[in-house]
Structure 1
Amino acid sequence: MGFFKRTEKEKEDATISPELRAVLPQHSGSWWTVRHLLLLNLMLLVPSLSSATIGFDGAMMNGLQTVEQWRGYFNHPKPSILGVMNAIYPIGKIVGIFPAAWLSDKYGRKSSMWIGFVLLVLGAGVQGGSINTAMFICSRCLLGAATAFIAQPAPILVTELAYPTHRGKISALYQTFFYFGAIFAAWSTYGTFRLPSTWSWRIPSILQGAIPFIQFAFFWLVPESPRWLIAHGRNAEARAIFVKYHAGGDENSALVNYEMKQIEENLKAESEALSETSYFDLVRTPANRKRTLIAAIVGFFAQWNGAGVVSYYITLVLNTIGITKTRDQALINGLLQVFNWLAAVLAGALMVDRIGRRKLFLISTAGMCMAYVIWTALTSHFTRTLDQHAGHAVIFQFTLRARGVSVTYGTTFIGLIIGQFVNPIAMSKLGWKYYIVFCCILFVLFFVIYFLFPETKGRTLEEIAEIFEGPSASRRVDEEKLGDDNVDDEKRVSRDSSSHAEVAEVAEEKRA
């Protein structure tokens, strides 16, 4: 099945649940030929650029470390100072992540993002105008805190607005925009490193505010999350969004009825079970403890899988194999980001529905482990001979979704902070031997993923509860809400039947 293609083949797609398949409208061609789906997916590019804003920073700091003018202006930072310059960014994120989550839950997914855009543009200006090390470090702390205000709600907003059969790919593609920002940053530093003045590093620093400025200009086009609106009693507004972007204006759409009903029932069941949510709810039940553990593992090991060394300290890595010229290091940094984006899109995001998230985790972890073993061996050989030729946020239910994403990002930032202090010092002291640590981590991580991570492809956000709480979860929700004696025909068919004919017949009777 082609990328986002919506044809008869989709009706037979085993990754789509029978209940959802039964109410999907039939389109004759690909998604870009359907006006409302084209508008929806183009609109989702605006919040998706939040990932690009995050990706800009690592590649920019990599690039700046290759620029002699930057090193000279800041007195050739020692590994410990370099660690502070990089670590202050995720420290700022930790400061911002919890107020961002609170704003996202109380005032809407978009509320904190507006604040983040303004702070990011301001922070980029301060960073570009830095006159000493202290000012540069403070600007990076502000940028980190500002990033949290867009990084926390953006993937939730994208996921909750996406068309049901596009959600898996859209959510995966959101992460790949990280490398779009990295490419922008890497080639910005490559294009300016020849400038003889401080503008060689000030221009890339100021450009860190370019992407959020573009988002700010177009963000008014993006609607609020329908799930958040329903959770706050604004059902009519939520339905209008679904009708416009999921049903192309069809007020009687069976898909819209299905989505509204499913969200309303799940939210009511969650609110009855949890009269007031808190972070303690993340570990209150076995299912939530498993969700939280997976979120923490994904977050922390996103930074401790070995990629962090290359993401922020490619200069130190290249120095270990004799590549020391500014031009060569900046060029490698730029080309690496292009390769990363192509790999993330083609081998990751576009395969997520076909292969599944769990298998992709396993394949990527095994691949990284083998790559690190080879890398370690080749670097060891070079240092001895000088031979250069040898060389899942959506797993939480709605009421805990913002807090669950905060756990993922929180553990990511903790892992990043530790890495920013440890990596430059370890690289300078241990050299290639430090890579052995990541070989061992990746080996263990493969088995953790194999035994702990479930597969979630082919399910709506509400149906994912069945994976963690058992196949009777959705049935139990219905019966707690409706009672066994007064479940009407349409609800019973929607819950139990996999037949399109039955669901269509009930929907037709209701319209009549």
Structure 2
Amino acid sequence: MTVKATRNPGHSQLEAVLPETTWWKSPQLRRLNFCILSLIFFSSSNGFDGSLVNGLQSLDSWMDFMGQPTGTWLGFINGIYSVGALVSTIIAAWCSNKFGRKPCVWIGIIFILAGSILGAAAPNDTIYIVSRVLVGMSGGFITNAPPLLLNEIAYPAHRSISSCLFMIGYYVGSVISSWVTFQTRTYSSSWSWRLPTLLQMLCPLIAIPGFLLTPESPRWLVSRDRVEDARKVLAELHANGDLTAPLVTYEVQEIREAIAAEKESDASSSYSDMVKTPGNRRRLLITVTLGIFSQWSGNGVVSYYLAMVLDTVGVTATKDQLLISGCLQIWNLIFGTIGALLVERAGRRPLFLTSAGVMLVSYIIITGLSGSFASTGSAPIGTAVIPFIFIYFAGYDIALTPLLVAYPTEIWPFTLRSRGLSVAWLSAIGALIFNTFVNPVALSALGWRYYFVFVAILICYALTSYFFYPETKGYTLENMALIFDGHDRTVNDSEKAGSSGDGGEKVPGTNEVERV
């Protein structure tokens, strides 16, 4: 059943204390956006890897080095990255809650530096596989802590768009990877694949200066009873250092009340709490299905095995395959950014539903054209598949790219936020592991007929997003419980927290949260 819209009184309170300013005129917002841009760059390593192995499959030197991988061996080379990410994702959720968001990011940086250097210097295929495990281990840390930190420091009016832009960094990595591989294809030495492998650490390295300026999450600080430290962070980032600004007072009060209410209701950060209440069970359904659809909607075939897909429609030249891959990544970057910028204007549900419709129609056409090429061998029919691959990815990019991280991050309460995001990644990585092992085998055995599986999954995606994904536009992180847990319960919890003697402040010029 679809969700009815819920009135959000907290939104009007926030508007009352937000100063009228534009980010480019405000020194603290320019600094904040520089920090957020740096956090976005951390998602690039996943995108770099997704495009890297795809491009390396078009290079004879890499294929010879790895023993001409096909089928299960090729799936293992791709999938071992996801195995490393799967393990580290579980650890990262605990680390983010225990030690804070920033230490986890540093752990991820160390892993990716070690993995990139080891891969570029690998003397044999065994060492290369070990390097992919290390790079995969970085993935759990730099895809869990950075988006949490980004959401929790973002300027309230910019939070949704900033959060959705996190995964755009994925395509920044993809673009760099695909075009570096295109450029090195003419190298006669093994540096044709060693250089792209080494450059996997490029974007995380670029992000370090901005990350050094990024403070710890104020919400994590409040959870550790470091309220004054949190106040200083919020004042520095959102109010030019003014500790008494109405916006800072409002944010501190809202964060303290939300975290106190979670403690009042005996909420913890255990995975078992995700199934204890109807609201959390619904959050879990959304989180798991979104992770699965992000990888099982057909994109995994093209992301990791574009060369094989193009082979099935007669596009076999190395230059042509790499050129198409490079242009596709730029296309993805453009439409992913468009989706992120539309998230507040259009809303989450319209983006999900538009995405499902565009992907389904284009995938049906891709399947039909591929089948026709298989029976006729007509070059024009094979070439016609290419523009529909681009149309398909436009549909994917406007919703599943920006909202894969942003949607789960915003719907979970603070105590479960890191674990909720980890569940999203675990679902996505689990689906990705299945894809990377099964897709090359299925493509080799079934060819274009394998596409029918993803047509069915896209139908499921459309139905699930229509019936179960609520609209969250206009809600702060703390007020998201209005949608999932009910308005009256949220108000009562907030009132308990405010009267529990914790020194909660009243925000000047705003009214109490009204009952509906």
Q: Distance in 2 between matches of 1:301 and 1:487?
A: 42
The equivalent position to 1:345 in structure 2, one of 329, 337, 343, is: 337
After TM superposition, list the pairs within 5 Å mapping 1:313-392 onto structure 2.
313-346=305-338, 348-390=339-381, 391=384, 392=407
Which region of structure 1 is more displaced relative to structure 2, 265-274 or 488-497? 488-497
Q: What amino acid is the match of 2:431?
A: G
Alpha-carbon shift at residue 339 of structure 1 (Å)? 0.4
Given residue 98 of structure 1, which amino acid in structure 2 is its aligned partner? I
Q: Which whole-Å CA distance do the structure 1 matches of 2:67 and 2:125 have between them? A: 9
Among 469, 491, 497, which residue is 1:475 paired with? 491
In 2, Cα distance between equivalents of 1:484 and 1:48: 38
| Residues 15 and 459, structure 1, Cα contact 8 Å, conserved in 2 | no
1:424 Cα deviation from its structure 2 partner: 0.5
Q: Secondary structure at the match of 1:495?
A: coil
Hey, what does 2:272 align to over in structure 1?
280
Partner of residue 129 from structure 2, selected from 137, 140, 158: 137
Q: Which runs of 4+ in 1 moved over 6 A?
A: 484-489
Aligned partner of 1:398: which letter?
A: F
Matching residue of 1:264: 256
The 1:128/1:460 distance shift into structure 2, 3 A limit, reads same
> In 2, are the aligned partners of 1:91 and 1:417 still within 8 Å (CA)?
yes
Q: Deviations over 1:47-89 (max 9, x none)?
A: 1111112111010111101111111222211211000000001
Distance 1:471 1:492, change over 3 A: farther
Q: Structure 2 CA distance, aligned partners of 1:465 and 1:154?
A: 23
2:231 and 2:495 map into 1 onto residues whose CA distance is 24
Contact preservation (8 Å) 2:172, 2:333: yes
Partners in 1 of 2:322 and 2:183 — Cα distance? 9
Q: 2 CA distance for matches of 1:335 and 1:183?
A: 8
> What is the match of residue 395 of structure 2?
none
Once the two structures are superposed, what CA deviation does each residue of 1:261-290 show, in whole Å capped at 9, x if it has no partner?
000011111112226431100111110010
CA distance in 2, matches of 1:282, 1:497: 28
> Is the Cα contact below 8 Å between 2:55 and 2:181 reproduced in 1?
yes
- The answer on 1:52 being equivalent to 2:44 is yes
Task: Report the AA paired with residue 454 of structure 2.
Answer: F
Please say if residues 305 and 441 of structure 1, whose CA atoms lie closer than 8 Å, have aligned partners that are also in contact: yes
How far apart in 1 are the matches of 2:360 and 2:9?
29
Residue 496 (str. 1) matches residue 487 (str. 2): no
Match among 12, 28, 43 for residue 35 of structure 2 = 43
Mark the CA change 1:15 to 1:196 in structure 2 (over 3 Å): closer, same or farther. Answer: farther
Q: CA deviation at 1:214?
A: 2.3
**Counterpart pick for 2:65 among 73, 79, 84:** 73
1:120 aligns with 2:137: no
Q: Structure 2 regions of 5+ residues with no counterpart?
A: 1-7, 385-406
- Structure-2 separation of matches of 1:355 and 1:264: 31
Q: Would you say the 8 A contact 1:79–1:425 is kept in 2?
A: yes
Instruction: Choose the corresponding residue for 1:22, options 16, 38, 43.
Output: 16
CA, structure 1 residues 275+327, in 2 after alignment: closer, same or farther (shift >3 Å)? Answer: closer
- Where in structure 1 are there 5+ consecutive unaligned residues? 1-13, 499-512
1:127/1:484 CA distance change after superposition, 3 Å = closer
SS in 1 for 2:429: helix
Question: Amino acid of the residue matched to residue 472 of structure 2?
Answer: T
1:482 positional shift: 3.8
Q: Is the 1:85–1:137 Cα contact (8 Å) retained in structure 2?
A: yes
Identity level (%): 40
**Counterpart contact for 1:103–1:112, Cα < 8 Å:** yes
The AA in structure 2 aligned to 1:19 is Q
Give the letter for the 1:44 counterpart: I
Q: TM-score scaled to structure 2, two decimals?
A: 0.90
Shift in Å at residue 146 of structure 1? Answer: 1.5
- Cα deviations across residues 353-384 of structure 1 (Å, max 9, x unaligned)? 00111211111111101110011111111111
Aligned to 2:166, what secondary structure does the other structure show? helix
Are the counterparts in 2 of residues 114 and 216 from structure 1 also a CA contact under 8 Å? no
Are residues 1:306 and 2:295 paired?
Answer: no
**TM-score when normalising by structure 1:** 0.91
Q: Aligned-pair RMSD on alpha carbons?
A: 2.1
State the shift of 1:233 in Å.
Answer: 1.1
What residue is the counterpart of 2:221 in the other structure?
A: 229
1:90, 1:417 within 8 Å by CA — same for their partners in 2? yes
The Cα shift of 1:181 comes to 0.6
1:102 aligns with 2:102: no
Residue in 2 aligned with 1:439? 455
- Matching residue's letter, 2:18: L
- 2:388 corresponds to which residue? none
TM-superposed CA distance for 1:100, in Å, is: 1.2
What's the offset of the Cα at 1:496?
2.9
> In 1, Cα distance between the equivalents of 2:71 and 2:436?
10
Query: Which digits, 9 at most, give the CA deviation of each residue in 1:314-360, with x for residues without a partner?
Result: 010000011111111111110000001101112x0010000111211
Q: Which moved more, 1:327-336 or 1:486-495?
A: 486-495
Residue of structure 2 aligned with 1:452, choices 440, 448, 468: 468
Q: Distance in 2 between matches of 1:135 and 1:466?
A: 51
